[in-house]
Structure formats: structure tokens, C-alpha cells
Amino acid sequence: MLASLLVFVALSSVPGDPAQLILGLNAAPDALAALRSQLGLDVPAPQRYLAWLAGALRGDLGESINYGRPVSALIIDRLAVSVPLTLGAGLIACLIALPLGVTAALRRGTWADPLVTVAAQVGAAVPSFWLGLLFILFFAVQLGWMPAGGFVPWERDFVGALRSLALPMLALGLGQAAVMTRMTRSAMIDALGQDYVRTARAKGLEPGTVVFGHALRNALVTLVTILGLSLSNVFIGSIVIEQVFALPGLGRLALTAIGTRDFPLIQGEIVLYASVIILLGFLVDVSYGLLDPRIRID
Amino acid sequence: MSVSVRSYLRSFLAALVACALTAGAAAQDAPAPQYGGELVVAITADPPGWDPSVSTSQEIARVVYHNVFEGLVRFDAAGEIVPALAESWSLSDDRLELTFQLREGVVFHDGTPLQASDVVAKFERATDPDSGHTNPQYYDAIESVVGDEEAGTVTFRLSRPSQGLLYNLARPDSIIYPAGSAETQRTNPVGTGPFRFVEYLEGSEVRLEAFADYHQDGVPYLDAVTFRIIGDPNTRFAALQAGDVDLIGTALPPEQFLQAQQDPNLKGTEGTATTEITLAMNNARAPFDDLRVRQAITHAIDKDAIVDGAMFGLGAVIGTHMSPAEPYYVDLTDTYPYDPERARELLEEAGYGDGLSFAFELPEPYNIERRSGQVIAQQLAEVGIDVELSVVEWGTWIQRIFLGADFDMTIIGHSEPRDIDVYANPDYYYQYDNPRVAELLAEAEAATTEAEANAAFQEIARIIAEDAVNVWVFSPPYLVAARTDVHGFWTDQPTPAIDVTGVYRAD
């Protein structure tokens, strides 16, 4: 709610009038006034905000100016792209980062650790949109294996939809994997240096049991926190990737909304983004209790 | 000879010439038209609905103009006004009654036949200030519209003779749809064009399919057309290279056009457009309120270098607010030619011998303007003008610079055809106040012949060039890149449109 208020105040102070953007640069004042009242823009800002808030509390986010459809319906449509994209990219990041990070931590002092560290450093420095563009040029233009952007709806062609999401997931996932690898590595190094690991080793436990049963288990709390942050990052980062791959996701919707000063749609998107991030934080908090009984709160 | 015969003769002659031209081109490379197949066209953004009489967004016109919607008359590929829903028209001797004969047997995509009452309803809406119709000034000479269902005619009674009305009736704003359907056209467009609207997936694509009952025989050739929305220019071009997209007919950067010409699977065409890249100055604000300063700035700018540097040499240098594609074009590039010495002298005379500094703001969405602006800043520096360059977000540009006229200098492409009339408006963002321009504009509107009207337009062009209101830098060409098997698309852009009626695929 605080986010929505901040955004509303910010939007009200930024120049730009949706009616003007619709009717064009040479629009007549009469026509503009008529359209403004039709869009409800002739009401003072505080009153407009309260009306919006009252609607939002009842689950009604209003109607988009640009698309002429309910904001909630537009957002739900776009979830079909953004949710699989975020989860897929997050999964790719985990699958790469966990083994690499653990390996690097265990192989400290050998060639593997610096190799992984450098690779992660490079990966984190490469912007995802650039990586995405390289993927398009290589996999779509050169090899012709994948579509060069665009999206096929799930209900029309399931495999086609998956294919159109594969490259963006990879572009988004790889960048995040780099960041996660570094964090996994340092979390594991921390855990491996703990007294209980030394004790476990001293009492003659198998190295596998020590690493996975003791060190990793204890590092998991940190790792889940990282995962939560990563998913938030990927969710936000998809704004750029959706633009590069011409995907009809929430990010493109937000950019269009801002460009056309589609106030109800921007507000709706902000509420959604804020809710997703709060929800991820909540899930992370809940998972602490499951992973580590000591944190359980009664 | 009545006007109707003359205009008819004219368009007939134009059609003959166009046929001869295309026949000449066809003899060289284009294969014979073939029926069938689909086409994917890339566009840059989601249009705000589909009704060009509700929003002036060019994204709407590109998709629907003559593909989905038609007016009484329309522009053809060469920019000539040709019959569309009206098969002929005539003007009374006092030039106060314009009568259109509607084509017979025209049906809308929903199956209802076109009637005179549909046309009447349209123009009653267009002349009603409360209806929210775009550009009501296009229709302000119309006093009343009367339809005769029996005879299939529609008569416009005018309050004054209007040279520009027929032209305005060919614009995207003037399309006709069934009476009473204005509310739903925004989301469900129903017109008379060769393609009917099938499906719109927001942020993704819009699909049109051939309309079986189209009133003109022989077209369209394609079974269906998909307009795919791809915001990023690099992705758009990659999609063309990969074969996911067949044609890019909007916002094609010059380097991609050159690349398309090199690619064996692609071709690039270069034609004319009505855009003028305009270095706009705030004429009401110091130092631009001094003619010598504006002259000096014009002399300081090497337009050829800008076309080379920002456009890879693609573009025609201009000297007034007109592109070579306009019927009344006049070459005024020599009014204040590139001459940095003279620029320094004029600045000295105006009292800015020690230098001059002001803000120069570039519009964020427009790549060509941003690039040109950077070259211009360097050229101005060479005569001692120090500009503070900044990039401005589009909504802000419109509100503060364009509508608020709160700026020193900016640069923008003015793409509407016949838009020299803005110089008659002292409130326009250039803040140029010269009543003589408004007089000439009224003369053009009341002119009895097109030649007379054109003479008045040319006089305006000369006055604003001599007053150095702005620096008109160049007219960028209309660039298209397409797969080699795509033929019959517009290679010039007399009005923003991607008309695919005559497009076909053949190897």
C-alpha cells in the first residue's frame, strides 16, 4: 500500500497526459477535455487515489487506458509468460550454481576453485540482454533451432511455448547462476569451517555425510535466502529480457504502461510486483523453520 | 470541365503512370503475383486500440489503414488520392457541395452492406466536438452531411470552399465503419477492407485474414497477415534474418537496411517519406528571438555531414518544412548554406562574439534524432556555441517541450504529410508568430486550383526558411527490409501505412 501511494505521487508529478498521448500532438482542447473526463482524469489526484484504493481493496484494479480492458485480466494473461520464465530461470540458476558452488568450496586450493570463481565473475558481469541477443543471433539466426523472440500461447502449442521461453530462461538463468555460485561457495566455505564439521570429521564420518549431512544442511538456510533474493532478481530482470525476446510478459506490460501513462495499469503492476516480492520473502521465512528446527517459532 | 472529371482524369493518369512504373520494375525482377500464403510483419509497439478515429497513434494506422478500414477515398502507394468506398465524386460550381457516389455491393466484415447512413453517421461524429473524434479541424469546413440511400450518394454541404477537404478524407482518421459501432471498434474493428480482424494477443501479435467478400476483385493475394509486436530493433532484424518475420516496414535503422541489401535471403528498398528532421528553436526566447542567431545556427550546420554520420548517407538534405515527397516541394537548401565563417560573423553582430550557451534536448525514443543531435552539438561547438546536451523521456518531451514550449532547442522528425500549417499557429512549440503565414494558409484553403494552393504553400515555405524559424536538416528515406520472396509492398510512405493489399509471395 505504501508502494502504491509512492508510485501514485511520483506519477502525478511526472509530466505526461494519457489523453494527449492518445489524441496526438495536434489535439483540440475540447476533444482533450472530453477524453479526460471519460478517463476520470478530471478528478483531483488525492480523490482519484482513494477511489483506486477502495477498488483495489475489493480486488478491482480498474481498467487500462491503453488496452481498454480490466487491469487484473491483463495481468493474469501475462502471468502465463512471467511465472514460467521466472521459475525456469531460477531452476536453471540452481542447477548450475549449487554443484559449482559446492565443488569450488570443497576444492579450495586446486585449479577448480579459481576456474569457477573467474567464470562466475565473468558471468555476473555480462548483462543478460546482451547474452540474450547473442543467443538469438547464434541459436535462431545461425543455427535456426529456436525462434528469434516472440511467444506462442500455451493453449495453442505447448512445445512451441516452451521453445519460445527456452532462450530467455537460459539468458536470465545464467546471469543469476553466476551470482548464486559465488554466494553458494562462500556459504559452504563458512559452513565447512565450523566446529561441528571438524567434530564430524574427527569422529570419522564419511566425507559425503559430512559435506551433505552437516555442512550443506546448515548452509541451506543461507542458500534459501539467496534463492529468494535470486527469484526476486530474476522477476525484476525479466523486464529487460522480455523486451529483448519480444515476450508478452509483465515487464513489457509495465514498460508500455509507463510509456503511455496508463496510470491504472502502472498501479496494478506495482501492487503485483510488491506482492510477489513480499510473498517470496514470506516463503523464505517459512522455509527456515522447515530446514532448521532451531528457528521454528511456536 | 467540372472538377470531378478533372480529378478523375488526374487519378486515372496517375494510375497509368504507376502501372507503367511498376510494369517496368516488374519486367526486371518481380515475378507474377501468386495467390496464397501468409505474411508476418514486424511492428514496434502495442497500438492503443484499433480505431484511427479515436487515437492518432501511427501504430494503429500502420496495421489497419486500407488493410482493415477504408474511407471514401484513400492514398495509393504513390500518395495520389484514389477512389475507395466512393467510386467518383463531384464538386458543385460554387464549390460548396461535394457529392460522392458510393460503390455498389460493398459489405462490412460483419456481413452488413455499406449504406449512405453509415457515411453520414461517421461525419456527424467527426464534426461533433464532444465525440472525442481525432483531428476535428480536418472537417471544420463541413456544415452538414446528407445521404441518399436510393441514389447511393452522400453530399457534404460546406461553409466555405475547401481545397484540403478531399485530402483529409483520404487520411486514416476518415475511415468508415457501420453506423452505431463506434463504441466497439476500438477492440473489435469491423471495416470494409481486404483483410478482417481475427485475433489480438496483447504484447504479442494481431492476426488478419483475407476477407472473401472484398469489393475489389483480384485482391488480396495473401490468405492471412500477422503483425508481430517486437520492441527491440535488434531482435526485429534477427527475427527477419531467421525467417520468423517477413517484412520490417517501420523504424528500420539505416545500418540494418544496408545489412539487408548484403544478405542473400533479404532485400532492402529505399523510398520517400514525408518526415522532416527538424532542429526546433524556441523563437520567443533569447537568444533565438534574434534572427541573426537563428541564421548563424543554420549557417553553422553541415547537413550533408549529418546525413553521412547519422544515416550512412541515406536521406535528402532539405531547406524548409517540406520533404521531396510532397507535391508542392520546393528546394530551399541554399537559403542559408553551410558557412561557419558567416555563422561566426552573425554571432559577433548579435553580440555573442564571446560564445553562446543553451540547452539542447534530445527525445529518448528516437534514435535518428539522438544521433543527429550529437553531430549537431559538435558542429555548433565549432562556431563557439556550447550546448548542454540531455536526453528527455517521451512523455516529458510532449508535455513540457511540445505543449508547454518550455525549452531552448530540441530535434524531432515531423512525419505528418502537409503539416506546414503549424507555422500559422503562434502557440505551437516553435513560438513563431507571423500573421502572414495564416493569411497564406487561408488562401491555399480557398484556392480554386491545386496549382494555386501549391503556390501559397511554397510561399509559406519560403517565408519560414528566410526567417530561419528552425533548421530543417534532412528528410530520412522510407526504408523497408523484407525476405526476397515478398513483393508488392509500398516502397514509399506518402502516409504512415503498411498496406498489404497488393503483397504476394513468389520466388
**B186-209 confidence digits (pLDDT tens):** 899 999 999 999 999 988 999 999
Position B443 in a domain: yes
Strands B471-475 vs B224-229: parallel, antiparallel or unpaired: unpaired
Closest-CA distance, B230 to chain A, in angstroms, reads 5
Specify the CATH superfamily of domain A71-297. Answer: MetI-like (1.10.3720.10)
DSSP reduced 3-state for B86: strand
Q: Can you give the pLDDT at residue A166?
A: 93
Position B65 in a domain: no
**B198 and B319 together in one domain:** no
Residue B338 CA to its chain's centroid (Å): 28
Strand-pair partners of B41: B227, B247
Tell me the mean pLDDT in the region A237-241.
Answer: 86
CB contact under 8 A, B228 and A246: yes
Torsion of CA B428, B431, B436, B440, to 10 degrees: -30
What span, in angstroms and rounded, lies between the C-alpha atoms of B116 and B112? 13
Q: Can you give the pLDDT at residue A296?
A: 65
Confidence band of B237 (pLDDT split at 50, 70, 90) = very high
Tell me the mean pLDDT in the region A127-145.
Answer: 89
Position B74 in a domain: yes
**B471-480 confidence digits (pLDDT tens):** 999 999 999 9
Position B178 in a domain: yes
Torsion of CA B418, B423, B425, B426, to 10 degrees: 170
Per the structure, the count of domains in chain B is 3
Q: Can you give the pLDDT at residue A180?
A: 87
**B457 and B324 together in one domain:** yes
CB contact under 8 A, B201 and A30: no
Nearest to A150 among B202, B244, B399 (CB): B244
Sequence-separated (6 or more) residues with CB below 8 Å from residue A96? A173, A174, A177, A180, A181
Q: Can you give the pLDDT at residue A298?
A: 56
ipTM, two decimals: 0.80
Domain residue ranges in chain A: 2-57, 71-297
Residue found under cell 492518432:
B56
**B354 and B381 together in one domain:** yes
Position B320 in a domain: yes
Position B24 in a domain: no
Position B7 in a domain: no
**A49-78 confidence digits (pLDDT tens):** 888 888 878 878 888 888 888 999 999 999
**B286 and B390 together in one domain:** yes
What span, in angstroms and rounded, lies between the C-alpha atoms of B448 and B439? 16
**B309 and B413 together in one domain:** yes
Q: Answer whether residue B20 shows pLDDT above 60.
A: no
Structural domain for B428, as ranges:
276-475
Q: What is the CATH number of the domain that holds B469?
A: 3.10.105.10
Q: Which pTM value belongs to this model?
A: 0.85
Chain B, 215 to 244: residues with Cβ < 8 Å from chain A are: 228-232, 234-235, 238-239, 241-244
**B315 and B442 together in one domain:** yes
**B82 and B170 together in one domain:** yes
Q: Which of B41, B60, B125, B398 best probes binding to A when mutated, by most A CB atoms within 10 angstroms?
A: B398
Last residue of a domain, one of B151, B184, B217: B184
Q: Can you give the pLDDT at residue A297?
A: 60
Closest-CA distance, A43 to chain B, in angstroms, reads 19
Confidence band of B13 (pLDDT split at 50, 70, 90) = very low
Query: pLDDT over 90 for what percent of chain A?
Result: 17
Confidence band of A185 (pLDDT split at 50, 70, 90) = confident
CB atoms within 10 A of CB A17: 19
Q: Answer whether residue B7 shows pLDDT above 60.
A: no
What span, in angstroms and rounded, lies between the C-alpha atoms of A154 and B125? 41
Confidence band of A89 (pLDDT split at 50, 70, 90) = very high
What span, in angstroms and rounded, lies between the C-alpha atoms of B478 and B494? 9
Confidence band of A26 (pLDDT split at 50, 70, 90) = low
**B325 and B430 together in one domain:** yes
**B118-130 confidence digits (pLDDT tens):** 999 999 999 988 8
What span, in angstroms and rounded, lies between the C-alpha atoms of B380 and B373? 10
Confidence band of B28 (pLDDT split at 50, 70, 90) = very low
State the cell numbers at B210: 483475407
Residue B497 · residue B76 · CB < 8 Å:
no
Position B396 in a domain: yes
Nearest to A147 among B45, B244, B398 (CB): B244
**B256 and B311 together in one domain:** no
Q: Can you give the pLDDT at residue B4?
A: 40
Of the listed ranges A5-19, A154-168, B184-198, B255-269, the least confidently predicted one is A5-19
* A30 vs B233, higher pLDDT: B233
Tell me the mean pLDDT in the region B335-355.
Answer: 95
Q: What mean pLDDT, rounded, does chain A reach?
A: 84
**B199 and B313 together in one domain:** no
**B276-312 confidence digits (pLDDT tens):** 999 999 999 999 999 999 999 999 999 999 999 889 9
Of the listed ranges A184-188, B14-18, B489-493, B498-502, the least confidently predicted one is B14-18
Tell me the mean pLDDT in the region B326-341.
Answer: 93
Q: What is the CATH number of the domain that holds B134?
A: 3.90.76.10
For residue B73, the one-letter residue type is V
- Cis peptide before B220, with omega less than 30 degrees from 0? yes
Confidence band of B5 (pLDDT split at 50, 70, 90) = very low
**B386-407 confidence digits (pLDDT tens):** 999 999 988 788 888 988 899 9
Torsion of CA B26, B31, B32, B34, to 10 degrees: -140
Q: What mean pLDDT, rounded, does chain B reach?
A: 90
**B356 and B455 together in one domain:** yes
Residue B407 · residue A22 · CB < 8 Å:
no
